[in-house]
Amino acid sequence: TDIAGGLPRVVELFEARTPRGSARLARLSDVVRIDEDEGKGIPVTVVGDDGTEDTVILPSQVRMLVSNGQEVKAGEPITTGPFDPKELMEIKGIRETQVYLVEEVQKVYRDQGVSIHDKHIEIIVRQMTRRVGVQEPGATDFLPGERVDAKKFRDTNRRIFEEGHRPAEGRPELMGITKASLATESWLSAASFQETTRVLTEAAIDGRGDNLLGLKENIIIGKLIPAGTGMMKYREFDIVAPDYQPMAYYSSEEDPAELLARLHGDYNADDQVVESN
């Protein structure tokens, strides 16, 4: 097989799809209790320290990785199969999910003998996990169910908290790369990707502007991209040099003798320099 054979798995991961035959994950940390199959499947229950129970009904033919009375931790697989990244994020959080996605993508390429640095995959995964779903807006201007940028969510909550008001509550969301690209704040960037008509129509109806903060939107209009020396912090500074004197220059409209006289002194008729006092 060549590397193309593993690409469907990479697409599945980057689009954050639920894989076929995905593993069931424990939602609580404690002891597993496996009851008898009564014809509807095998009831597997994880009993928490506080008495709470989480029960799942598993098909009879499924291969289990736990036994009756075994201790498990939240997020550990109960059955065989690949993890559902959305379920993993719900149970373990954003960091564990990011690590899992990077490792799974790397596994596909390593199996084909291809070496890719983690940072390239991490950039994509960061874009997939940069949104927060608002559950309780608190004193902010967010709406329930709204998806906002994680940095904007943190900055707004910090400001609201410092003002003594109730911050918003939300949970990280995992989005596939197609959906994440269309959910960007820049309508120029989104329109250049997919669903151009819908993106432009919605932007026009909402009267949205574009602050041109990303790479794509600046490339589209021919501006310097905000990276490297093009970053805003490199454009807004003054050169402090107390002893600086502007360099004299010669133009075709200026007599060379006048330029030299200005620099070194006056030239007499015998082409000898008379030093200026």
pLDDT of residue 247: 66
Residue 276 — very low, low, confident or very high, per pLDDT cuts 50/70/90? very low
Between 117 and 231, the more confident residue is 117
pLDDT digits (tens, 9 = 90+) for 99-156: 999 999 999 999 888 899 999 999 999 999 999 999 999 999 999 988 898 999 999 9
pLDDT of residue 182: 84
DSSP string, 158-180: HHHHHTTSPPPEEEEE---HHHH
pLDDT digits (tens, 9 = 90+) for 185-222: 889 998 988 889 999 999 999 898 988 888 889 899 88
3-state secondary structure of 236: coil
pLDDT of residue 166: 93
Residue 228 — very low, low, confident or very high, per pLDDT cuts 50/70/90? confident
Average pLDDT over residues 222-226: 86
Q: How far apart are CA 193 and CA 184, in angstroms?
A: 11
Average pLDDT over residues 1-27: 81
Domain ranges of the chain: 3-17+91-127, 30-81, 130-180, 186-234
CB 111 within 8 A of CB 126: no
With b for 16 or more beta-carbon neighbours within 10 A and e for fewer, the 93-125 pattern comes to ebeebbebbbebbbebbeeeeeeeeeeebeeeb
Q: Any idea which architecture 3-17+91-127 has in CATH?
A: Orthogonal Bundle (1.10)
Residue with tokens 């596939």: 176
Average pLDDT over residues 31-38: 81
pLDDT of residue 1: 44
pLDDT of residue 223: 86
pLDDT of residue 3: 52
**Does 82 have pLDDT greater than 70?**
yes
Residue 267 — very low, low, confident or very high, per pLDDT cuts 50/70/90? low
Between 60 and 100, the more confident residue is 100
Question: What class is the 186-234 domain?
Answer: mainly alpha
Average pLDDT over residues 50-62: 81
Quick count: other Cβ atoms within 10 Å of Cβ 187? Answer: 18
| 36-50, 62-76, 91-105, 217-231: least confidently modelled range | 36-50
pLDDT of residue 94: 92
Residue with tokens 């009831």: 43
Q: How far apart are CA 146 and CA 21, in angstroms?
A: 31
Q: Any idea which architecture 30-81 has in CATH?
A: Beta Barrel (2.40)
Q: How far apart are CA 163 and CA 161, in angstroms?
A: 5
Average pLDDT over residues 248-255: 63
**Does 259 have pLDDT greater than 80?**
no
- 64 φ, ψ to 5°? -90, 150
Residue 268 — very low, low, confident or very high, per pLDDT cuts 50/70/90? low
Q: What is the mean pLDDT of the chain?
A: 84
Task: Work out the percent of the chain whose per-residue pLDDT is above 70.
Answer: 85
| 2-16, 185-199, 230-244: least confidently modelled range | 230-244
CA angle, residues 151, 210, 169, in degrees to nearest 5:
25
| 129-133, 229-233, 255-259: least confidently modelled range | 255-259
